[in-house]
Structure 1
Amino acid sequence: MKKIAFLDWLVTVAGLATALLPFSVLAAPGDLYEADNSSNTILKFTPDGTKSTFASGLNRPFGLAFDGSSILFEGDAGSNTIFEITPDGTKSTFASGLSGPVGLAFDSSGNLFEADQFSGEIFEFTPDGTKSTFASGLGGPVSLAFDSSGNLFEANYNSGKISKFAPDGTKSTFASGLGGPVGLAFDSSGNLFEADYDSGTIFKFAPDGTKTTFASGLSNPTGLAFDSSGNLFEADQGSGTIFIFTPFGTKSTFASGLGAPSGLAFEHAPTSTVHLANISTRALVQTGNHVLIGGFIISGTGPKKLVMRALGPTLSSFGVPGVLQNPTLELHNASGALIAFNDNWGDTPNKQQIIDANLAPPNAAEPAILATLDPGNYTAIVRGANNTTGVALVEGYDIDAGTSSKLENISTRGLVQTGANVMIAGVIVGGSGGRQEVIVRALGPTLSKFGVANALADPTLELRDINGNLIRSNDNWRSTQQAEIIATGLQPSNDAESAIVAILAPSNYTTIVRGVNSTTGVALVEVYRLN
C-alpha cells in the first residue's frame, strides 16, 4: 500500500535521529524461544516478534531452559529425551530413557533439574550429565522454578499443588486447590506466577503464599517466562497464542497461529539496559508563547549527561519547508533559572565532547548544549534569533545510559497547526536486553489551567514505528485502553486529551499530535517510562 505524501516526509523525525546515532543503539538481545508442541519445532522470536525456526524434527517438545553458556536444553516428551542445542542450532542428546520430561530448570550451580511426569520423580543432572534422584513419589510433576534462595518449586498437575523443596530436599506444600498447575515463573520481586491450565488463569503468589488472580479468561495457559524488563510471556496452548502482560497486567498478543505452544525460555542476555534515549519534536517556532519548549525529568541519585540540540537548516535536506534558519537554545532548571544558552554549536566550550558523542549538528548555525545534570526537572526552549520564525526540531539525547539515574519523562510543548505543521515527536528506545513500557500523552485543555493561552481543545495522538506504520492511535483517552492507562496513575485530567500505553522494543518511534477536525492550538506531547 502506497504511503500518502504526508507520511513520506513525516518520518523525518525518527529517520533523522537514526541517521545521526550509532547503529548499536538499536541492538536487541534477549530472544524468546517457544516449544511448539504440535509442529515438533522450537521457534525463536526476536524482541520485535520476528519469528524463525530454531530446531525441528523433535517429538512433542515441551520444557525449555538455558544454561549459563546460552545452550538451550529441551525436554522432548515424545522421545523421553533431553536434548541440548548450541546457539548455532547443533543438537545432541544430554539424557535419555526418561518418562515424560516436561519441566526443566537450572540451579545457580549449573545443575539441571527435570520434572519426570510419568515416573513421578524429579531428577538432578550435573553439568557432565551425571543423574541422581532429587525427589520421588510425586503425582505428575510438570514444571519447575527456582527462587533466589535456591528453593525449588514444583507444579504438580495431578494433585493440584505446588510443592517447595529446600536445597537439602526438604519438601513442603506451598499452595493447593489449584486447577491443573503447569507453568511456573518468578518475577524479580520474588513473586511466583502459576499457569493454571484447567481454569484458564494465571495466579500470583507472594513470597508468603498469598494468592491473587493476575489474569483470567485464558485458554489452557501452559508456559510462563519473564523478560528482563519484567513483562510476563504466557504460552496459551488452547488458542495457539503467546500473550505478553506488562507488570501492570496490560495484555497484548505477541505471536499467534502457533501449534500448541508449551514451554517458553528467554535466551540469556546482559542485564537490561533499555531506556529512553532521545526525544526529538518538530513543530513551527513562532514568538512569545508559541516558541518550542522541551521538558524532561531525571530520576535517581546521581548526575546524568545529556546533549540537547535545536535543528533548523538541516531539516531542509529532508524536504521540510519553511525551516527556522537560525535557532537558539536555552536550558532552564525547575525554578526557571537559565543554566545554559547557545546560538551556534561551534561556540560551546565543550564542543569536542559533542563531536565525540557523534551529536554535532550538521549546520554551524544550529545550537547544542552538553550538560551534566542532577536529578530534577529541566526545560529546553527553542527560539528564532531576532524573533525569526520557522519549523525546527528540538532534541534531547541521553549519552550516559550506564548510570543509575534515568530519563523518566520527556515532553515538548508547541503550536499544533495543520498539514505539515502538526506536532511530530520522535522517541528512541535505546539499550538492549528487554523492552520499554511507556505511556504517551497529548495534552491540550489541561494547559489552560497553567495559564497557557490558545490551548488545543481536542488533541489526537498517533504512535508509529520507524517505517511510519501505525502502531496505535487515540482521540479521547477513555475510548481505548482506559483500564491500562488508569493503572499507570498517569491518566490525563481531561477526557478530551489522548493517551497510549505501549511496550516498545529498542528502536525509533514517532508520535503525531493533531487537532480534531483540523483545529489548532498549543499542545504538550509527553512520554513516560513505566518499567
Structure 2
Amino acid sequence: MKKTALLHRLVTVAGLATALLPISVLAASGDLYEADPGSDMILKFTPAGTQSPFVSGLSGPFGLAFDSSGNLFEADLGSGTIFEFTPDGTQSAFASGLNGPIGLAFDSSGNLYEADQFSGTIFKFTPDGIKSTFASGLNGPVGLALDGSGNLFEADYNSGTIFKFTPPGIKSTFASGLNGPVGLAFDSSGNLFEADQGSGTIFKFTPGGIKSTFASGLNGPTGLAFDSSGNLFEADQGSGTIFIFTPAGIKSTFVSGLSAPSGLAFEGAVLSTPTVHLANISTRALVQTGNNVLIGGFVISDSSPKQVLVRAIGPSLPSVIPNLMQDPMVSLHDSTTMEIASNDNWQSDPNASQIPMQLQPHDPRESAILTTLQPGAYTAIVSGKGGTTGVALVEVYDMDTAAASELINISTRGLIQTGDFVMIGGFVPDGTSNIEVLVRAIGPSFAAAGIPNPLPDPTVRVFDANGTSIGFNDNWQDSQGPEILATGKEPTNNLESAILLNLAPGSGYTAIVSDKNGASGVGLVEVFKLQ
C-alpha cells in the first residue's frame, strides 16, 4: 500500500513517497531544537516554549543530534550535507556529497551514524570525519537510535520495519508490519518509542519487542525526543505542532503554528554510558575437594579501584537444602593466581566491622573478605575447612556502584549434579537503565584445559525475581547464534549454551545450569555485561 508523506517537501524511494525524518535522542535537559524543513530553519525553544531562530537558509533540514561538546549536527537533505553548528551558531560542513542525509545519532564514543535515505545506507563517521559504510541494502532508512548497549536501531520506512544492528553491524529484525516508521527514541528504561507516520500513532516496544500503543490520532508524527523528566516530545508534522506526552501518556501542546516540524533534539542530548552495573553475583553448588571446589571469577573494568565484598555461605542456607557445608572458607587470588586475601570465620577479618549490617553473614563459621581491588581479573575459591564437603554459596558484591570501575564479567565453576545439586547462579543489575547481558553455561571445553569430568551437555535457564522463566538454551547456535557470535564471547563448543538478554535493573535474576541428560560433571555459569 502506498504511504502518504506529510512533509512540506517530499522525496521518493522506489516510487513511494517517503516521509522525512525522525531524530532520536535520549533524555536531556535544556533547550529544545527543531528542524523545520518548511521554513529551512532550525528553531530553538526554551523549556517554557519561547521560540527563537537558531539558523536559517538551510536546504531541507531534518536530522538533528548533539555531540558531547554541545555542537549541533544537522542532516541537510537538499544539499546532501551534514552541517555542524557550535553553541553560538557558527556553521561548518562536517560531511558532503551524501545522497539524502536524513537521520543522525551519536554513539557513546563520539561516532556519528547517518541514515542516507536515497542510497539505502547507514554511514558511520569518526569524530574526525572519517567515513565508512556501516550497513547497506536498506529500503528507505530514516530514523536512528542507539540503546544503552550500543545497538543501533533503524526505522526502515518503505519496508515498515525496525532493524537492529549490533556494534559490529550484525542485522536482525526488531519489529515489522509498521506503517511508515519514522522517529525513534529510547526512554530511560530501555523501551523504544516509534513515530508511525502512516497510522498517526506512537508505538512503544519493550526491550523484548512487545508492542503497545502509546498515543494515537496524531497527524504525521515524525520526530521524537525525551526530556530529563521522561516526557516525550513529538513533532506532529501534519498539524505543525510539537506535543508533549507525560510518562503516563497525557498529551498537551508545547508549541503550534510551525511549518513542518520534523527532527527534534534537546541541548546536550547525547548517548551516554548507561548507569547500570552488575552489583552482585552469587552461585550455589556442591563443593567438594581438588578440582571440584567452588571457583568464582570476576573482572573489574576501567582504571579506578573498586571495593568488593566476597562471601562464602554454608550453614545459614535454607535447611531444606541437603548436605550444607558447615564451615566454608574463602581465598581471593589475582590474575597471576597469587593469593591476596583469605578468611575462615568472617568476624576474624580485619575489616569485619566495616561490613554493612545487612551483608554480614548470619553464621560465625561463614567467611567474608571486604577489600579494595585494582582493575583486573580475580578469583574467589570456596572450600570446606579440613577438606569437608557440602553445598555452599560464593558471592561477590560491588560495594561502590557509583565508581567509574565496574564488574563486567562474573563466573563460577564447580561440580554440577542433579536435583538440589545443580548449579544456581544469581546476579543483580543495579542502576537506572536496562542492561544487556550474555549468560553462558560451559562444560565440554574444559576437557581441552585438562580439567577432568567436564559436564558433557550443559543447558541454562534464566528466571526473573518472580520465578518466571525468561530464557532457555541448550546449544548456543540454535537461536541467537549470529548475535552471540557478534559479541566475541561465543562458547568454543557447540554443545555449550548461551542466552542474550536485555534486563531491567533493580531485581535479581537466576541462571540454573544442569546437564541435558542428567549427567554430572564440572561446569561453569557465566554472566557478561555487554558494552
The TM-score normalised by the length of structure 1 is: 0.70
Query: Matches of 1:248 and 1:119 in 2, distance apart?
Result: 38
Q: For 1:99-178, what aligned pairs fall within 5 Å after superposition?
A: 110-125=30-45, 131-157=51-77, 161-165=81-85, 167-172=88-93, 174-178=95-99
User: Following TM superposition, by how much is the alpha carbon of 1:425 offset from its aligned partner in structure 2, in angstroms?
Assistant: 0.6
Q: Is 1:420–2:420 an aligned residue pair?
A: yes
Q: Is 1:349–2:350 an aligned residue pair?
A: yes
Q: Give the counterpart letter for 1:438 in structure 2.
A: V
Q: For 1:35-50, what aligned pairs fall within 5 Å after superposition?
A: none
SS in 2 for 1:449: helix
SS in 2 for 1:313: coil
SS in 1 for 2:355: helix
Q: For 1:278-357, what aligned pairs fall within 5 Å after superposition?
A: 278-316=280-318, 319-356=320-357
Q: Give the counterpart letter for 1:520 in structure 2.
A: S
Q: For 1:124-523, what aligned pairs fall within 5 Å after superposition?
A: 124-125=44-45, 131-157=51-77, 161-165=81-85, 167-172=88-93, 174-179=95-100, 181-196=101-116, 201-215=121-135, 221-227=141-147, 230-235=150-155, 245-249=165-169, 253=174, 255=205, 256-258=211-213, 262-268=222-228, 272-316=274-318, 319-356=320-357, 358-432=358-432, 434-506=433-505, 507-523=507-523
Is this contact kept in 2: 1:237–1:262, CA < 8 A?
no
Q: Give the counterpart letter for 1:265 in structure 2.
A: A
How many residues are paired up? 430
Query: Percent sequence identity over matched residues?
Result: 55
Deviation string, structure 1 residues 404-450 (Cα, Å, up to 9, x no partner): 33323211111111223211111111223x33333222221222232
Is this contact kept in 1: 2:25–2:65, CA < 8 A?
no
Deviation string, structure 1 residues 98-120 (Cα, Å, up to 9, x no partner): xxxxxxxxxxxx44432122222
Distance 1:333 1:314, change over 3 A: same
Query: Matches of 2:374 and 2:92 in 1, distance apart?
Result: 50
User: Following TM superposition, by how much is the alpha carbon of 1:289 offset from its aligned partner in structure 2, in angstroms?
Assistant: 1.9
User: Following TM superposition, by how much is the alpha carbon of 1:252 offset from its aligned partner in structure 2, in angstroms?
Assistant: 6.8
Is this contact kept in 2: 1:375–1:405, CA < 8 A?
yes
SS in 2 for 1:182: strand
Query: Matches of 2:451 and 2:22 in 1, distance apart?
Result: 59
The TM-score normalised by the length of structure 2 is: 0.70
Distance 1:284 1:461, change over 3 A: same
Is this contact kept in 2: 1:237–1:261, CA < 8 A?
no
User: Following TM superposition, by how much is the alpha carbon of 1:379 offset from its aligned partner in structure 2, in angstroms?
Assistant: 1.8
Deviation string, structure 1 residues 229-284 (Cα, Å, up to 9, x no partner): 54445456677776665534465745135568743434438974312211111111
Q: Which residue of 2 aligns with 1:54?
A: none
- Where in structure 1 are there 5+ consecutive unaligned residues? 1-36, 39-60, 70-109
Query: Matches of 1:410 and 1:225 in 2, distance apart?
Result: 29
Distance 1:359 1:137, change over 3 A: same
Is this contact kept in 2: 1:162–1:176, CA < 8 A?
no
Query: Matches of 2:124 and 2:273 in 1, distance apart?
Result: 24
Query: How big is the alpha-carbon RMSD for the aligned residues of Structure 1 and Structure 2?
Result: 3.5
Query: Matches of 2:22 and 2:336 in 1, distance apart?
Result: 58
User: Following TM superposition, by how much is the alpha carbon of 1:528 offset from its aligned partner in structure 2, in angstroms?
Assistant: 2.3
Query: Matches of 2:150 and 2:276 in 1, distance apart?
Result: 12
Distance 1:379 1:198, change over 3 A: same
Deviation string, structure 1 residues 272-326 (Cα, Å, up to 9, x no partner): 4312211111111123322211112223333321111122233215x43332233
Query: Matches of 2:94 and 2:337 in 1, distance apart?
Result: 59
Bigger mean CA deviation after superposition, 184-193 or 123-132: 123-132
Q: Give the counterpart letter for 2:279 in structure 1.
A: A
User: Following TM superposition, by how much is the alpha carbon of 1:456 offset from its aligned partner in structure 2, in angstroms?
Assistant: 1.2
- Where in structure 2 are there 5+ consecutive unaligned residues? 6-20, 175-191, 193-204, 206-210, 230-271
Q: Give the counterpart letter for 1:525 in structure 2.
A: V
Query: Matches of 1:335 and 1:147 in 2, distance apart?
Result: 41
Is this contact kept in 2: 1:227–1:266, CA < 8 A?
no
Bigger mean CA deviation after superposition, 477-486 or 515-524: 477-486
Distance 1:165 1:123, change over 3 A: same
Is this contact kept in 1: 2:313–2:394, CA < 8 A?
yes
Q: Give the counterpart letter for 1:388 in structure 2.
A: T
User: Following TM superposition, by how much is the alpha carbon of 1:522 offset from its aligned partner in structure 2, in angstroms?
Assistant: 0.3
Distance 1:294 1:130, change over 3 A: closer
User: Following TM superposition, by how much is the alpha carbon of 1:327 offset from its aligned partner in structure 2, in angstroms?
Assistant: 2.0
Distance 1:193 1:339, change over 3 A: same
Query: Matches of 2:159 and 2:348 in 1, distance apart?
Result: 61
User: Following TM superposition, by how much is the alpha carbon of 1:361 offset from its aligned partner in structure 2, in angstroms?
Assistant: 1.4
Q: Give the counterpart letter for 1:170 in structure 2.
A: Q
Query: Matches of 2:416 and 2:298 in 1, distance apart?
Result: 20
More helix by share: 1
Query: Matches of 1:241 and 1:264 in 2, distance apart?
Result: 17
Distance 1:503 1:201, change over 3 A: farther
Deviation string, structure 1 residues 348-385 (Cα, Å, up to 9, x no partner): 232211135x3111233322121222233322122223
Query: Matches of 2:157 and 2:521 in 1, distance apart?
Result: 49
Is this contact kept in 1: 2:64–2:73, CA < 8 A?
yes
Distance 1:252 1:295, change over 3 A: farther
Q: Give the counterpart letter for 1:314 in structure 2.
A: S
Is this contact kept in 1: 2:28–2:226, CA < 8 A?
no
SS in 1 for 2:402: coil
Q: Give the counterpart letter for 1:485 in structure 2.
A: I
